[in-house]
Each structure stands twice: as C-alpha cells, then as structure tokens.
C-alpha cells in the first residue's frame, strides 16, 4: 500500500457549542430538541445532506413503526410520540392509527392497527426543519464531520468539511447520531460491525394510474432464530454490504438504482399515468457500525426491569415484547463526553434489528440529547436526575409504571 502525508494546517475554530448532534436523522433531530429543551444554550445539528430525517425521509423509509406493544398498550412516549404526531400534521399516506387518536379500550386497540403511521417524506422533512428552527437550534447542512480532536478522554472539537473548506467547531458534549458511529470511530471509542452485513434494499416511490405508492424492494431479513432449517434468504443480489467502506457504498448505490429501474419498468415505460416518482438520496443501510457500549440492549430482556431505563421500545416484528432501554447502552468506556443515539447505539446483533427503527431512534435521541445538556461525563451523570427530567417530559421508564398510564 502507498501513502502520502496530508499537509498539516492550523484550522480556524469557527464557533463553540454546548451540544452538537451529528447526523440529522430521527435520532439527531430528537437529540437536538431534547438538548435544547433540557437547557443547553447553543445546540447545533450537523447534517451532510440538505434535509432532515435521514433514512426516515431522504431514505424513503416512510413507516413510523409502532410505539405500542401490539397488545393495546402504548410503550414509547415523549418525543417518540411527538415526532410521530408531527409526521401526521398535514395528513398521512396510510396506516391510520385511528384507535390511538381517540378513546378506545386496550382490548380494542390490541386487535386494531398498531400505533404506527405511513407519512409523506417530503412534508415531514420540512416539518422537522421548521420544528428545530422554532426551538432555536442551529442547523448546518452540507457538512460532514470528518475528524475529531480529543484531549484528556474528551472531544474538544469536531473537524468539519463543507463548501467553505475544513474548519473546527468547539464542543462540550457530542451526540453521535450518524447511524454508523462515525464519531465513535474517529474518537477511538470501541465499536462493532454487524456480523451478517446488509442485504441490498431499493425502496422507492412510483405513481401508477394516479396512485402514489411506496415500493419496498429488499425487505428486512427474518431473524436467524425465526428461519427454518436450511431456509434460503431471498435477496435482490447475492452481495452483502458492511456500510462502512466508501467505495463499497458507492457500488451498492449503483446496484440499488439498477434494481429500482428494473422493477419500475416491469409496469411499462413512463407514460401520462406511470412515473418513477422518487428514489432514495442516501444509502439504505440498516445495521452497519455501532458503539460497544457499557451495556448491550438484549433481546432476552423482554419486560425485564432495568434500573437505569431511559424509556421503552416495542418489537416491530411481533406483538408482545417490550424492552426497557438502559442508559449505559448509549455511551462507551473511553470517551467521556460522547454519547450515541439511533441505529448506532449498543445492541447485541439479534436485538439490533429491533432497536434500529424510528421509534427507538426517537427514544434514545431524547435521552442522549437531554443527558448531553446536563453533563460532559456520561458515566458520572446522575441517572436519577436524567430520569426525573425525562419523566417530567412525559417519558414512561418502566413496564410496571405503565399500569398507572391510562
């Protein structure tokens, strides 16, 4: 292998922030809102694309999966519910959760549509941006965080690149919401890769005879434990993708575009009543790199009491299971002022498939953002203080506490 040395240069320290959330997906949006609401004065959200929502909008993954357990009980509250309702503000595409928006009993809800919704991606991305602006959060689009500066086990600056070139942003606490634990990797925090790698996905929108439809090409795989002996997994292509190699991701996007066109043309060429409406502008990767946190979220912990819970999530695949999310799944052992949220939090491989979805990104984003406003040393933060704050903001922490919720 050949190497060249990058010319070292002094970088301008352009601004200083109390909290920076990196990545404008649902986790980053929730983290920024929560940090501001918990009292951080200067909060910045950095996003390398030019719109908020990440996979949930730019990635055309437009189903806000359930915030209920499928047995008639809501389990995720706070920003998870607020952001779901925001996605419905100007109407929805489908999966109307009517039983959850007016008075129905738990048994009626148990046999109805779960508390989930399919929204319009373009409207939602604008609404998310407006929400952040209303609450005084700075947004920096078209900007990639490409390096960090670490001193005494704390990140003191993020190195960013955008149209202005390369410069530094000073920071007290960082929330890694990049989906791929980029900041953890740059800072030398311990990370892990998804062992099975990603199958190719190509979700897109088309219109046919006036109907605007989401095409879910490349569905999530069944969990290993749910597959029959020797059951073949049907995939669009044989290749699998780690999602952390630039050239590999670029190649994956080409394959995804190719499959989209093949699928679209099966219904014929473009005509007055047939159009390829939208394709994803970001790679549709599910599980890539995550932090190796102090604790892993574990699939065997269905309804297990967790003293340090920061909220609950359900299982989108089956009705019944509920998981309390321990605070220690959000931060690692090395970098004191770095916390994660969303699909790069710490979860065992078999749980990652459950914890990566939109509601969990909102639950963990809210806790990580609030924690970042309160501390620059997460292992030393009083979890009780964080929990009291979350409860004041409507979060329910434990399965047992649900018995008090109507």
Ligand X SMILES: Cc1cc2nc3c(=O)[nH]c(=O)nc-3n(C[C@H](O)[C@H](O)[C@H](O)COP(=O)(O)OP(=O)(O)OC[C@H]3O[C@@H](n4cnc5c(N)ncnc54)[C@H](O)[C@@H]3O)c2cc1C
Q: State the residues that interact with ligand X by CB under 6 A.
A: 22-28, 46-49, 54-56, 61, 63-65, 144-145, 177-179, 182, 201, 203, 282, 284-286, 342-343, 356-358, 361
Which residues, in sequence order, are CB contacts of 47 under 8 Å at separation 6+? 23, 24, 28, 139, 140, 141, 142, 143
Q: Would you say 251 or 385 has its CB closer to ligand X?
A: 251
Q: Are 305 and 398 in contact (CB under 8 A)?
A: yes
Nearest distance from residue 49's CB to ligand X, in Å? 5
What does the alpha-carbon distance between residue 302 and residue 299 come to, in Å, rounded to a whole number? 7
Nearest distance from residue 175's CB to ligand X, in Å? 11
For 253, the token pair is: 């996007």
Strand-pairing partners, residue 170, are 16, 157
For 260, the token pair is: 């989209």
What does the alpha-carbon distance between residue 116 and residue 96 come to, in Å, rounded to a whole number? 7
Nearest distance from residue 316's CB to ligand X, in Å? 7
Q: Would you say 220 or 391 has its CB closer to ligand X?
A: 220
Nearest distance from residue 16's CB to ligand X, in Å? 19
Nearest distance from residue 253's CB to ligand X, in Å? 12
Q: Where are the alpha helices (DSSP H) in 91-198?
A: 98-101, 106-110, 121-134, 182-187
Nearest distance from residue 64's CB to ligand X, in Å? 6
Q: Are 33 and 131 in contact (CB under 8 A)?
A: yes
Q: Would you say 221 or 401 has its CB closer to ligand X?
A: 221
Q: Would you say 46 or 299 has its CB closer to ligand X?
A: 46
| Length of the chain, in residues | 406
Torsion of CA 120, 126, 131, 136, to 10 degrees: 160
Q: Would you say 161 or 401 has its CB closer to ligand X?
A: 161
Q: Would you say 342 or 369 has its CB closer to ligand X?
A: 342
């Amino acid at each position: 292998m050949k190497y060249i040395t990058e010319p070292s240069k002094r970088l301008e320290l352009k601004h200083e922030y109390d909290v920076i959330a990196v990545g404008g997906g649902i986790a980053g949006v929730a983290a920024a809102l929560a940090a501001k609401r918990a009292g951080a004065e200067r909060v910045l959200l950095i996003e390398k694309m030019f719109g908020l929502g990440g996979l949930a909008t730019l990635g055309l993954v437009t189903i806000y999966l359930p915030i209920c357990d499928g047995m008639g009980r809501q389990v995720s509250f706070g920003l998870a519910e607020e952001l779901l309702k925001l996605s419905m503000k100007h109407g929805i595409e489908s999966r109307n959760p009517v039983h959850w928006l007016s008075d129905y009993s738990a048994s009626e809800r148990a046999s109805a549509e779960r508390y989930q919704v399919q929204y319009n991606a373009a409207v939602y991305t604008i609404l998310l941006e407006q929400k952040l602006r209303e609450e005084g959060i700075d947004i920096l689009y078209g900007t990639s965080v490409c390096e960090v500066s670490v001193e005494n086990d704390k990140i003191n600056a993020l190195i960013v690149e955008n149209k202005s070139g390369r410069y530094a942003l000073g920071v007290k606490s960082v929330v890694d919401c990049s989906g791929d634990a980029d900041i953890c990797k740059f800072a030398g925090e311990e990370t892990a890769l998804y062992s099975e790698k990603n199958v190719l996905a190509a979700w897109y929108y088309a219109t046919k005879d006036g109907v605007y439809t989401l095409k879910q090409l490349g569905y999530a795989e069944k969990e290993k434990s749910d597959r029959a002996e020797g059951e073949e997994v049907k995939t669009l292509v044989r290749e699998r993708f780690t999602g952390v190699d630039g050239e590999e991701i670029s190649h994956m996007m080409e394959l995804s575009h190719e499959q989209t066109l093949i699928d679209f043309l099966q219904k014929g060429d473009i005509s007055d009543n047939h159009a390829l409406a939208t394709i994803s502008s970001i790679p549709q990767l599910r599980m890539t790199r995550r932090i190796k946190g102090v604790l892993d979220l574990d699939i065997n912990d269905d309804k297990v009491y967790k003293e340090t819970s920061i909220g609950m999530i359900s299982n989108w695949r089956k009705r019944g299971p509920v998981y309390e999310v321990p605070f220690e799944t959000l931060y690692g052992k090395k970098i004191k002022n770095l916390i994660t949220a969303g699909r790069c939090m710490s979860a065992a491989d078999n749980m990652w498939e459950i914890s990566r979805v939109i509601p969990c990104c909102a639950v963990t984003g809210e806790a990580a953002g609030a924690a970042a406003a309160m501390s620059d040393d997460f292992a030393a933060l009083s979890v009780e203080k964080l929990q009291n704050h979350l409860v004041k903001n409507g979060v329910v922490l434990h399965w047992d506490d649900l018995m008090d919720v109507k």
